[in-house]
Amino acid sequence: ECDCGTPENCQNECCDAATCKLKSGSQCGHGDCCE
């Protein structure tokens, strides 16, 4: 669902780098729906 690289380098608060999935509650990887 999302790819932000390694957990150490992941700057995306909506993405779980370990699983490449969006974190619970996030509708998308970036933007206004990323809460």
Q: Domain for residue 6, yes or no?
A: yes
Q: Domain for residue 11, yes or no?
A: yes
Q: Domain for residue 34, yes or no?
A: no
pLDDT for position 17: 87
What domain range includes position 18?
A: 1-28
Whole-angstrom distance, CA of residue 31 vs CA of residue 8: 22
Q: Are the C-beta atoms of residues 1 and 29 closer than 8 Å to each other?
A: yes
Q: Give the tens place of pLDDT for each residue, 1-35.
A: 788 888 888 888 888 888 888 888 888 877 788 77
Q: Are the C-beta atoms of residues 34 and 28 closer than 8 Å to each other?
A: yes
**Residues 29, 32, 35, CA angle at the centre, nearest 5°?**
65
Residue 16: its H or E element: strand 15-16
Q: Domain for residue 18, yes or no?
A: yes
Counting the structural domains of the chain, the total is 1
Q: Domain for residue 35, yes or no?
A: no
pLDDT for position 7: 87
Residue in this structure with the two tokens 């995306």, named with its chain if needed: 12
pLDDT for position 27: 85
pLDDT for position 32: 80
pLDDT for position 5: 84
